[in-house]
Structure 1
């Protein structure tokens, strides 16, 4: 079990469409495959993308745990990600909610409840990942202030570069440091790790079957947690991780 102070990371989308949810799923999968227990929270209320990866009925979802079901145990909202025969666990707390509850889940009180849920998860999971939208709402602020590590995710484009600068400024205002900048679908000079484009037609996760994805996601794990997860070939962090580190 990691120290609680280092167990949680917010993966912050610098802009919409950065691929933050996909990267969060891939990172959680690689850590679980290494024998770690991982919890994922979906704070990206507008897109609710984490639910697309999960089977079955979702009730309660994260927004309910922050509002109407605030007294319910976290376990009630966790859905096991179907990874098959892996030594660890990937438990997800997705968002699937009507607009009215989404609005209430963005309140300051709900943001405080999110902080409490994240803190509770660090007591029972080796790692906690929060899929976090751009820093412009209460749940985003709660996510980055309740976690020890912050990873900014942006597409490898001019828009992505500008969004990284904007996001870094907002995090500075919150006295939150950036542990790593990750670009998707290519490289930027501002990135610590560059993740190659992943086939949108192939269902995530692909890090257990595709070496280039595994290598890049392992580099993200190293940047976020100083972790050295197995990539499925009996080795630790692949020797080729350096290919994906910009500085």
Structure 2
């Protein structure tokens, strides 16, 4: 069954976009076809992971200036599954039009449409402060909350949960990015040795620490088991053993 997942950051700078990309790459490695959709219009961070000229972006889709096929760009990965992204890259005027109530409703419909062609749709979603972010959560079957592993992250998590309750939603998984084990809740993910968008995604190949932790995060957010091999003694192997 196709799953639409809103990957929601508790605040800017917690690494939601990078983690969305790495989760997508992990699913592609497991044989799933994955679409990444950018709902974080303010930062437009997903664009950094697309190695192609972006002529039409997700905001053009939401202002009915482009079709779904026009705004999905393949991210070249050596995996069994496909990884594609619909990034945001637009001038301010179109960004404003893409954040109206009507555009938000269209985002919900387009996410449902993308799920017809992909096994999993991951939506890079900013903190809930706009129509497009709320639309991403409303369209999602699962919601993953991304926070940093600090006391500030704990506060941000509480605030985000309050906003989710306000719209009648809740979180299905908590992902503690750049984990230092200050918080005990959810899945902790260490910082990758590769810190640039140009070097990502790195989860298409096994890694002794980062990639297995991302796989654990994917299993948590989707409530599935991935049939992936990792080095003996890795985080995922230890959890399963």
Fold match (TM-score > 0.5): yes
Render the CA deviation track for 1:64-119: whole Å, top value 9, x for unaligned.
000042xx431111000011x31100111000101111111111011011101100
Matched, 1:28 2:11: no
Q: 2:209 aligns to what SS in structure 1?
A: helix
**Residues 124-135 of structure 1 mapped to structure 2, 5 A cutoff:** 124-135=117-128
Q: Is residue 149–residue 183 contact of structure 2 (8 Å, CA) maintained in 1?
A: no
Partners of 1:170 and 1:38 lie apart in 2 by: 28
**Alignment partner, residue 167 of structure 1:** 160
CA–CA separation in structure 2 for the residues paired with 1:74 and 1:242: 39
Question: Which residue does 2:7 correspond to in 1?
Answer: 11
Q: Judge which range, 197-206 or 125-134, deviates more.
A: 197-206
* Aligned mates of 1:219, 1:63 — CA distance in 2: 32
Structure 1 position 232, deviation (Å): 4.5
What is the alpha-carbon root mean square deviation over aligned residues? 2.0
1:79 is aligned to 2:79: no
Structure 2 Cα separation of the partners of residues 211 and 113 of structure 1: 41
- The match for 1:45 among 41, 45, 62 is 41
TM-score normalised by the chain length of structure 2? 0.91
Q: Tell me by how many angstroms 1:211 deviates.
A: 2.7
Q: Distance in 1 between matches of 2:25 and 2:36?
A: 10
Q: Is the 8 A contact 2:150 2:183 kept in 1?
A: no
Partner of 1:210: 207
Matched, 1:227 2:224: yes
Q: Is the 8 A contact 1:33 1:230 kept in 2?
A: no
Q: How many equivalent pairs are there?
A: 235
User: Take 2:102 and 2:126, find their aligned partners in 1: how far apart are those partners?
Assistant: 18
Note if contact 1:151-1:181 (Cα within 8 Å) is conserved in structure 2.
yes
C-alpha contact 1:16 1:133 (8 A) present in aligned 2 = yes
Q: Give the equivalent residue in structure 2 for 1:110.
A: 103
Structure 1 position 121, deviation (Å): 1.1
